[in-house]
């Protein structure tokens, strides 16, 4: 019948749009994707608010049992809920393609995303270059490809939005090999951890991308009541204590425009942390 892909926005149960809420009310089955991002409230809270049962979907399920969701959508109204704006990440493009191949009607309900909410930092969205993700180092696996992307942005006087890694319902390689569904505790990269990894990248590549003069802005729990926006140089930001994740990080362009400067000063560590 129909698959609704509904964005939940960034904060809590009331960040859904009125339209999205109405479609959930009409839906027969509701799935919640909970591995690319999270809201700052529990699934129970959502269920209480929607007065409906929600099935949580992890990466495994979405990739392997996607067909099950689609088969249901042939005869039912199925809502697939995604935190933020649903098509910001690459993850959910596949399910739409598959649905269209089965002639299932798909309707996307957009919502707030970190990609535009960072406008609240005062940095102009027009002045951002490519967005990068910073994945957790794991053992000897220490990818640094984002370092060069940040360098290109800095060279062009662009800001860089760094999205920080999230590990939810992940299994160790050992448990995957043994086919054991034992999940590691969730972890969410902090601004402090991200900066530490960036400093490591600098020590490997030595191209003066991450220096004492690199300005940055910590974006903490944006869209929630305990949101923090804290600006400073990277080394100062590394030593601060922030509210719980989710965190993101903006590496600022070397030359800020006037209004960007005003915002940077307004959010600077000296103003906000003392």
Q: Is 182 flagged in the annotation as binding?
A: no
State yes or no: 164 annotated in a binding site. yes
Q: What gap in Å lies between CA 10 and CA 224, rounded to an integer?
A: 7
Binding mask 198-237 for a copy of itself (x = CB under 8 A): ------------------------xx--------------
Q: Which of 97, 176, 182, 204 binds a copy of itself (CB under 8 A)?
A: 97
| Distance between CA atoms of residues 159 and 14, nearest Å | 31
Q: Which is nearer to a copy of itself, 65 or 116 (CB)?
A: 116
Q: What number of other Cβ atoms are within 10 A of residue 179's Cβ?
A: 7
Cα separation values, 9 from 39, 128, 227, Å: 8, 21, 14
Go through 259-274 and write b for each residue having 16 or more CB atoms within 10 A of its CB, e for each that does not.
ebeebbeebbbeeeee
In the set 31, 33, 85, 236, which binds a copy of itself (CB under 8 A)?
Answer: 85
Cβ contacts of residue 144 below 8 Å, gap of 6+?
A: 200, 201, 204, 205
> In angstroms, what is the C-alpha Rg of the chain?
20
| 168 lines the binding site for a copy of itself (CB under 8 A) | no
Q: Is 37 in the site for a copy of itself (CB under 8 A)?
A: no
101-160 residues in contact with a copy of itself (CB under 8 A) are: 108, 110-113, 115-117, 119-120, 122, 124-133, 152, 156, 158
- Residues near a copy of itself (CB under 8 A) are 7, 9-19, 21-22, 84-90, 93-94, 97, 100, 108, 110-113, 115-117, 119-120, 122, 124-133, 152, 156, 158, 222-223, 259, 262-263, 266
């Amino acid at each position: 019948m129909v698959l609704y892909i509904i964005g939940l926005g960034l904060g809590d149960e009331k960040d859904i749009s009125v339209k999205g809420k109405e479609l959930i009310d009409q839906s027969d089955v509701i799935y919640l994707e909970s591995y690319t991002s999270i809201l700052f409230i529990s699934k129970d809270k959502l269920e209480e608010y929607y007065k409906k049962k929600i099935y949580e979907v992890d990466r495994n399920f979405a990739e392997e049992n996607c067909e099950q969701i689609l088969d249901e959508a042939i005869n039912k109204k199925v809502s697939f809920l995604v935190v933020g704006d649903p098509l910001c990440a690459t993850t959910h493009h596949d399910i739409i393609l598959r649905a269209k191949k089965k002639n299932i009607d798909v309707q996307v309900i957009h919502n707030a995303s970190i990609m535009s909410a960072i406008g609240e930092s005062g940095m102009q969205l027009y002045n951002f270059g490519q967005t990068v993700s910073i994945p957790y180092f794991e053992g000897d696996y220490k990818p640094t490809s984002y370092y060069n992307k940040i360098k290109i942005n800095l060279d062009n006087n662009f800001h860089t939005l760094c999205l920080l890694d999230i590990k939810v319902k992940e299994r160790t390689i050992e448990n995957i090999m043994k086919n054991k569904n034992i999940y590691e505790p969730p972890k969410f990269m902090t601004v402090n951890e991200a900066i530490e990894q960036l400093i490591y990248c600098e020590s490997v590549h030595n191209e003066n991308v991450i220096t004492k003069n690199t300005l940055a802005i910590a974006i903490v729990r944006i869209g929630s009541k305990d949101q923090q926006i804290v600006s400073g140089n990277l080394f100062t930001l590394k030593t601060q204590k922030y509210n719980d994740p989710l965190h993101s990080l903006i590496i600022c362009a070397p030359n800020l425009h006037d209004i960007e400067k005003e915002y940077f000063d307004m959010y600077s560590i000296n103003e906000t942390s003392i």
